Chain A
Amino acid sequence: MRVRLKLYAMLTDYLPPEAQATNSLELDEAPDATVASLIERRNLPGKLVHLVLLNGAFVPPEERALRCLQEGDVLAIWPPIAGG
C-alpha cells in the first residue's frame, strides 16, 4: 500500500536527504498499517510528533493507533509550532 509521508519543521531531519527538499516521501506500508505504526517504524521522537493530519484532517493522539491507513493517504506531521 502506497502512502505519502510529509514531515515539516524540525522533523524534516527525519527524512532521507533526497526527500528533504520537498518534505515528502512515498512509502510502501503493510495493509494493516496505522498512523501510530508508521510513526513508530520511522522512529519519529514522540515529543516532536505533535500535530498529525491525515489527508488534512486532525488525528487526535488517542486515535493514532486506531486509524488504519488507506492506499493513497497523505500523512503530515509537525512538531509543536505556531504562527500568526
Chain B
Amino acid sequence: MGWTRKVLRVDLSKGTCTSEPLNMALAQQYLGQRGLATKYFVDEVDPKVEPLSPANKLIMATGPLTGTSASTGGRYSVITKGALTGAIACSNSGGYFGAELKFAGWDMVIFEGRSEKPVYLSIEDDQVELRDAAHLWGKTVWQTEEIIKKSHQDPQVRVCSIGRAGENGVLYACIVNDLHRAAGRSGVGTVMGSKNLKAVAVRGTGGVAVRDGKGFMKAAAAAKKVLADNAVTGQGLPTYGTQVLMSVINEMGALPTRNHRDVQFEGAGKIGAEAMRQKRPSDGHAQLVTNAACFGCTIACGRIAKIDETHFSVVNKPEYWGASGGLEYEAAWALGAANGVGDLEALQYANLICNEDGYDPISFGATVGAAMELFELGILTEAQIGMTAPFGSAQALTKLAEMTAQGVGFGKELGLGSKRLCAKYGRPELSMTVKGQEFPAYDARGIQGMGLTYATSNRGACHLRSYTVASEVLGIPIKTDPLVTEGKAELVKAFQDATSVFDSAGVCIFTTFAWTLADLQPQLDAACEGGWSMEKLAELGERIWNMERQFNLAAGFTAKDDDLPPRLKTEPAKTGPAKGLVSGIDKMRPEYYQARGWDGQGVPTRETLARLGL
C-alpha cells in the first residue's frame, strides 16, 4: 500500500474523467511522484512535442508517503514538458493540496488534450467532474481559491490554480496551491494555462493505508526524532528559515549579484533572515510574523510575513497588508541581489505578486536582472521598458512585477524569460541560464559543484536537483571544498540520485539536512509492498535520472546544453575567497559523464541503460 492504486485520467479535449488502476509493475520500478509520473509521461508523450500544444500532457502526482504521518509527507509534483525549457519538467510543492489529493483516493491525475473553454477539475473523493471556469478566468490565484471555496461551500477544499501569468503565457508560470506554495519552476503553470485548465479543487475524506501499520508508525516516529534532534531541522530552519543563507553565501563570495557581474552584494544584510526579524521604525513590527509548516511537517521552515503598510509599493493597497507568504532565500536573492535591490519591503511586495498571479520569482527576478544589465548597457531604453531600470531600482522591480503579472507593456517581454529576452536584444551571452532556465542563488565560481549541478540538471538550471551547497558550504553530510572541482562529479551524481528518490517518495527534500536514505528506507518499506531495500532505492534514483536524461536527449538536447554562460567561464569572481576563479565546468563535465556511465557526448551507454532496466 502507500499507493491508492488509482490514476485519474482527464481528457480535456473530450471533457472526460476516467479512473484506471495504477500500474503496480511500474510502481515497483519507479516508486511514485517524480519517478513514476515521469515514467508515465515519457511512455505516453513524444519528446519532440511542443510544450504548449494539446499533445503535451501534465501530470499531478503524489508519492506513497504523501498523506501519511511521515514527516513532511504532504508533497506532490507536476510533471510535464516545460514551457520555459522544452526539457522534462518536474516541479514539487508542499502545502496541503498533495495530501488532500491522496485522501480523495488518487495517486496521480493525468491531464491530456486541451479544453475548448476554461474549466476547472472538481474532485470530491470518487466524484470527479470538469466544471466551467469562465467566471474564474482572469482571476488571480488568491481570488480563484476564494471563489471556489465559497462555491463549494467548503473551506477545507484544497485548491491549486494558475493566476493571470499562466493565462497570459508567462513562460515561467507556476501552479500555486494553498495561496503561497507552488510547483514553481520550468513553466508548469504555463502548460496548465495552455490547456485552459484554471484550477483543481480537491476534497478527500479517506485516509492512506500502509503495508505495516505498526512498523510504519515506529519508523516514522524514529525519523521524526532524527529531525527534532538535528540542530538544523530542529532549530535552525524553523527559527530563521532558508533566508539565513543570505549572509552565509554573501560572506563566502558566492552570492550572484547584478546578473552575476559580482559575487557579493553590499545590501545583503538588508534582505536576509536577520533583517526580516528586525523591528521597523515605521510600525515597530518585524516583517516576519511567524514560521509555518506544510502538511505533516515537523520542520516548519515556512515564512509568514507582513509588509510595511507605509511602503511605496502598497500605499492605498490594503489587500496586501495582511500576513501572507514571506520571502524564502531563493526568492529574496532573485528579487534582491540579482538586481542589486536592497529594499526588503519591495522584495516582499514582488514576492506577493508572484504568489498572487502565479509565476516563479527566481526566473522573474533573474530576468529583471538581465533587463537591468541591458538597460545599463544602453541596449534597452527607458522608452522600451516604460521606466528607468538601473540595477538597484526597487521602483522598477515592483512595477515590472505588476506588469508581468498583468501581461502588459514590457512585462510581456519579461514573461518570456532571460534567454529569449537577451537573444532578442542581441546579447544572448547575458542570459544566466542553462537549458533556458534561470540560475538560482549560488554562484558557480564560488561553489564549483553548483556549476556542475546547473549544467547537468535535467530541468534546466536548478538547485533542487543536487544541492551540493549542503556539502560544499554547510558540511552535510561531509564538508567539501567549494573552490575545487576535484570530486564534484561524484558528489553531484550522489546528490542527484538521492534527491530523485526523495522526490519520488512524497516527502520534502529539506529532510535531507538530517536524513539520509537510511532514514527514509524503513518508512518506505513499512508503507509499501515490494521490499524497498537501500540497494533498490539507490538504483531507483539512478534509474530516474537516466530516464529523464533519455527524454531530454530524444527532445533534442545535447552535451552542448550541459554548459554554463560564458560569463561564469571567462569572467573571474571579483571579490571574496573565489576571487580570480571561474567555473571549472569544462573539467567537471567529462568526469561527470564518466561517473554516470555515459559516453563522451553525455549519452547513457547501452550497459548503463541495461543495468538500470531502461
> By the criterion CB–CB under 8 Å, are A8 and B247 in contact?
yes
User: In the complex where A9-B244, A21-B278 touch, is A82 in contact with B236 (Cβ < 8 A)?
Assistant: yes
> By the criterion CB–CB under 8 Å, are A9 and B240 in contact?
yes
> By the criterion CB–CB under 8 Å, are B248 and A81 in contact?
yes
> By the criterion CB–CB under 8 Å, are B509 and A84 in contact?
yes
Q: How far is the CA of A26 from the CA of B380 in the complex (A)?
A: 43
> By the criterion CB–CB under 8 Å, are A80 and B467 in contact?
no
Tell me which residues across on chain A come within 8 A of B479, comparing CB atoms: 58, 60
Judge whether B86 is part of the interface by a CB distance below 8 angstroms: no
> Which chain B residue shows the least CB distance to A58?
B479
Judge whether A10 is part of the interface by a CB distance below 8 angstroms: yes
Partner of B231, one of A12, A47, A74: A47
> By the criterion CB–CB under 8 Å, are B274 and A81 in contact?
no
Q: How far is the CA of A12 from the CA of B513 in the complex (A)?
A: 23
Q: How far is the CA of A55 from the CA of B576 in the complex (A)?
A: 7
Judge whether A53 is part of the interface by a CB distance below 8 angstroms: yes
Partner of B248, one of A10, A22, A78: A78
CB neighbors of B among A35-66 (8 A): 47, 50-51, 53, 55-58, 60
> By the criterion CB–CB under 8 Å, are A84 and B329 in contact?
yes
Tell me which residues across on chain A come within 8 A of B469, comparing CB atoms: 83-84
Closest Cβ–Cβ distance, residue B254 to chain A (whole Å): 9
Judge whether B72 is part of the interface by a CB distance below 8 angstroms: no
Closest Cβ–Cβ distance, residue B484 to chain A (whole Å): 12
Closest Cβ–Cβ distance, residue B357 to chain A (whole Å): 24
> By the criterion CB–CB under 8 Å, are A78 and B274 in contact?
no
Tell me which residues across on chain B come within 8 A of A12, comparing CB atoms: 274
Closest Cβ–Cβ distance, residue B84 to chain A (whole Å): 20
Partner of A81, one of B237, B252, B269, B330: B237
> By the criterion CB–CB under 8 Å, are A82 and B232 in contact?
yes
Judge whether A69 is part of the interface by a CB distance below 8 angstroms: no
> By the criterion CB–CB under 8 Å, are A84 and B269 in contact?
no
Tell me which residues across on chain A come within 8 A of B576, comparing CB atoms: 56
> By the criterion CB–CB under 8 Å, are A9 and B274 in contact?
yes
A-B interface pairs (CB < 8 A), number: 99
Tell me which residues across on chain B come within 8 A of A53, comparing CB atoms: 248, 251-252
> By the criterion CB–CB under 8 Å, are B577 and A84 in contact?
no
> By the criterion CB–CB under 8 Å, are A51 and B239 in contact?
no
Judge whether B474 is part of the interface by a CB distance below 8 angstroms: yes
Q: How far is the CA of A71 from the CA of B498 in the complex (A)?
A: 44
Q: How far is the CA of A82 from the CA of B479 in the complex (A)?
A: 14
Closest Cβ–Cβ distance, residue B476 to chain A (whole Å): 7
> By the criterion CB–CB under 8 Å, are B240 and A81 in contact?
yes
> Which chain B residue shows the least CB distance to A50?
B231
User: In the complex where A22-B269, A56-B253 touch, is A8 in contact with B244 (Cβ < 8 A)?
Assistant: yes
Q: How far is the CA of A22 from the CA of B236 in the complex (A)?
A: 20
Interface string of B314-329 (1 = CB under 8 A from A): 0000000000000011
Q: How far is the CA of A54 from the CA of B323 in the complex (A)?
A: 38
Q: How far is the CA of A51 from the CA of B470 in the complex (A)?
A: 12
> By the criterion CB–CB under 8 Å, are B274 and A83 in contact?
no
> By the criterion CB–CB under 8 Å, are A84 and B510 in contact?
yes
Q: How far is the CA of A12 from the CA of B230 in the complex (A)?
A: 21
> Which chain B residue shows the least CB distance to A23?
B274
> By the criterion CB–CB under 8 Å, are B577 and A81 in contact?
no
User: In the complex where A56-B251, A57-B252, A78-B244 touch, is A84 in contact with B464 (Cβ < 8 A)?
Assistant: yes
> By the criterion CB–CB under 8 Å, are B251 and A6 in contact?
yes
> By the criterion CB–CB under 8 Å, are A79 and B231 in contact?
yes
* Most chain B CB within a 10 A radius of its CB, from A8, A21, A55: A8
* Most chain A CB within a 10 A radius of its CB, from B236, B329, B463: B236
Interface string of B449-471 (1 = CB under 8 A from A): 00000000000000110010110
User: In the complex where A10-B239, A60-B479 touch, is A80 in contact with B269 (Cβ < 8 A)?
Assistant: no
Q: How far is the CA of A74 from the CA of B250 in the complex (A)?
A: 13
* Most chain A CB within a 10 A radius of its CB, from B464, B509, B513: B513
Q: How far is the CA of A83 from the CA of B241 in the complex (A)?
A: 7
Q: How far is the CA of A6 from the CA of B330 in the complex (A)?
A: 22
CB neighbors of A among B239-288 (8 A): 239-245, 247-248, 251-253, 269, 273-274, 278
> By the criterion CB–CB under 8 Å, are A82 and B513 in contact?
yes
> By the criterion CB–CB under 8 Å, are A82 and B239 in contact?
no
Tell me which residues across on chain A come within 8 A of B237, comparing CB atoms: 81-83
Judge whether B487 is part of the interface by a CB distance below 8 angstroms: no
Closest Cβ–Cβ distance, residue B347 to chain A (whole Å): 16
Q: How far is the CA of A10 from the CA of B277 in the complex (A)?
A: 11
Q: List 15 A-B contacts (CB under 8 A).
A: A8-B274, A12-B274, A22-B269, A53-B248, A53-B251, A56-B251, A58-B252, A60-B479, A80-B236, A81-B240, A81-B248, A82-B237, A82-B513, A83-B237, A84-B469
Q: Which 7 A-B pairs have the closest CB atoms?
A: A83-B245, A83-B242, A80-B231, A81-B236, A56-B577, A83-B329, A81-B244
A residues contacting B by CB (< 8 A) are 6, 8-10, 12, 21-23, 47, 50-51, 53, 55-58, 60, 74, 76, 78-84
Given contacts A81-B248, A83-B242, A84-B467, could you give 19 more A-B pairs where the C-beta distance is less than 8 Å? A6-B247, A6-B251, A9-B236, A21-B278, A50-B231, A53-B251, A76-B247, A76-B251, A80-B231, A80-B232, A81-B474, A82-B242, A82-B470, A83-B243, A83-B244, A84-B245, A84-B463, A84-B464, A84-B469
